[in-house]
Structure 1
Amino acid sequence: MKGQITLEGKPKRMAVLDYGLFQVHANGRIIGICGYVVEMDSGDVVLIDSGFPPKYAQDAAAATDEDDLGSFGRVLSVTPDNSVSAQLSLLGLKKSDVTLMIQSHTHIDHVGELDAFPGVPILIAAAERALPRPLYWSGKQPMTWPDAQYHLVDADMTLAQGFDVLLCPGHAPGQLAFMIDLPDSGPILLTSDAISRADEIGERFAGSWEEAQAIFHGDRLMQRARDRDALVIFGHSPEDWPTQRKAPDWYT
């Protein structure tokens, strides 16, 4: 369905989930795979992204072969501890606590457990949901859209007071980013893959799905962060990931 969805209350706290490590062949870059949980003071629990498909924790080599992912890079570490369930449990949460899923975009390292939350509505860009299947990886599209109530984003929107969803196509047709206002930490910009790492800005987003849009939205996101004096958490920053605050720790 298309239509606005809003949540009651304000963001109470936010956590970064650790979905594993991946190495890009072309440059040797080691990147963290992350998702986010935003807990609202109303009790709603919002999950943003779900990492690699579970088969990567079972046999990463076989899964890589099946998906032809080896042409791009290799999984360094995706274990059961990097699953959605395990990461939520670090925060004292379980899957049944999730009341809304948000899909930042539908690449393989973000969409793995899209179908693992029956009955939970999904917020996703209209441009992603319009695809016959999730993007997944390099022409491989084994996943189908789960039966769910979809709320489609076709412009920047306010999901709740202090929780903005920003439509930033470029890396993917329906890439989303998020500005979260927290009581103590203040504003935090979660760029997701709209800006995967700080150097991507200077590189002018070379190799993106649509470079001109990626440049435009990367620039506007960073301007928004400057205007709000926001902490910026990039989608796959090799510099930041080793020291990044992650579950079980919260930003409050």
Structure 2
Amino acid sequence: MNQHAVKRLYLMQVGSMPEYGIPLVCYLVQTEDGRNILIDTGLPEVIPVEGAEFENGQDVIQQLASIGLAPDDIDTVISTHYDFDHAGRHAAFTKAEYVVQRAHHLDAASNPRFALTRPEWDQPAERIRLVDGDTELLPGLELIETSGHVPGHQSVLLRLPTTGPVLLTIDAVPFAEGFTRDVPDDGQTPDAEGVRASTAKLLDLVEREPATLVIFGHDAAQWAGLKQLPDGYG
């Protein structure tokens, strides 16, 4: 077995949007040779006025500590995108390499949507790995470019030794009901066509390589039935 192969996946709920009952989540991937890969970092430690609808829970650093990991133990942070609830603690992981889609990172530089979290994601260039499109990061872990929610959003496909393929849609498909080729235009999505295209891309992927588990980004009903840290998927 390849020494970098994916061994385990942990799920963590780090906060919520109480008004809507929406969980805010992060993921930890561990490899056979002991690497720790964090997918997103959750909300900022202190939520500013602009984020009043968000509520912190047990943050990602506390949750990692519960299984004996400190921020310096994280080798890689996969940044799916720089939204407030996904990139709020990036700066805490000072030893990690950040992996983000080039299109997203470049857009964020002038996009006011990501200004609140800029002190977190705007790290030294030597610590940021920019990728272009679908990328195999290591055996058993693929980044899937899924623009639409924001430019350069990325989802993650994992191949676990026992569980099999697991797709993390993140915000490309936040709720199970949206995992359809007939995604309705709610009139509020700036890039509805991009959302439909990315959803279709993920549906094609699942048909091509049947996923044992598709985890949606903010689906409370699904989340309640999933294993959460300290339990995990192997």
TM-score for both structures, normalised by structure 2 = 0.88
Match in the other structure for 2:184: 204
Give structure 1 stretches of 5+ with no counterpart: 1-6, 57-62
Q: Is the aligned partner of 1:143 residue 2:125?
A: no
* In 1, Cα distance between equivalents of 2:112 and 2:3: 32
Partner SS for 2:172 = helix
* In 2, Cα distance between equivalents of 1:218 and 1:142: 26
Change (3 A) 1:105 1:92: same
Question: 5 Å matches for 1:10-25?
Answer: 10-23=5-18
Question: 5 Å matches for 1:31-46?
Answer: 31-46=22-37
Q: Is the aligned partner of 1:189 residue 2:189?
A: no
Letter of the 1:215 counterpart: R
Question: 5 Å matches for 1:211-226?
Answer: 211-226=192-207
Alignment check: 8 A CA contact 1:134 1:141 kept: no
Q: Is the aligned partner of 1:9 residue 2:4?
A: yes
Q: Is the aligned partner of 1:130 residue 2:106?
A: yes
Q: Is the aligned partner of 1:180 residue 2:158?
A: yes
1:151-204 per-residue CA deviation (whole Å, 9 max, x = no partner) reads 112110111111111111000111100110001100000001011112224543
Q: Is the aligned partner of 1:233 residue 2:233?
A: no
Q: Is the aligned partner of 1:248 residue 2:221?
A: no
Change (3 A) 1:248 1:114: same
Change (3 A) 1:132 1:177: closer
Question: 5 Å matches for 1:64-75?
Answer: 65=49, 67=50, 69-70=51-52, 74-75=53-54
- Identical aligned pairs, as a percentage? 26
Change (3 A) 1:132 1:18: closer
Among candidates 62, 81, 86, match of residue 105 of structure 1: 81
After TM superposition, the structure 1 stretch with the greater mean CA deviation from structure 2, 102-111 or 90-99, is 90-99
Match in the other structure for 2:132: 154
Partner SS for 1:130 = helix
Structure 1 residue 85, shift from structure 2 partner? 1.2
* In 1, Cα distance between equivalents of 2:96 and 2:69: 15
Among candidates 19, 23, 43, match of residue 52 of structure 1: 43
Structure 1 residue 214, shift from structure 2 partner? 1.1
Change (3 A) 1:135 1:87: farther
Match in the other structure for 1:91: 67
Structure 1 residue 95, shift from structure 2 partner? 1.2
Structure 1 residue 29, shift from structure 2 partner? 3.0
* In 1, Cα distance between equivalents of 2:227 and 2:202: 22
Partner SS for 2:16 = strand
Q: Is the aligned partner of 1:115 residue 2:96?
A: no
After TM superposition, the structure 1 stretch with the greater mean CA deviation from structure 2, 239-248 or 47-56, is 239-248
Alignment check: 8 A CA contact 2:183 2:196 kept: no
Partner SS for 2:137 = strand
* In 1, Cα distance between equivalents of 2:14 and 2:112: 16
Alignment check: 8 A CA contact 2:82 2:108 kept: no
Structure 1 residue 149, shift from structure 2 partner? 1.6
Letter of the 2:59 counterpart: S
Change (3 A) 1:163 1:186: same
Structure 1 residue 150, shift from structure 2 partner? 1.1
Change (3 A) 1:136 1:119: farther
Structure 1 residue 246, shift from structure 2 partner? 1.1
Query: Alignment length, in residue pairs?
Result: 226
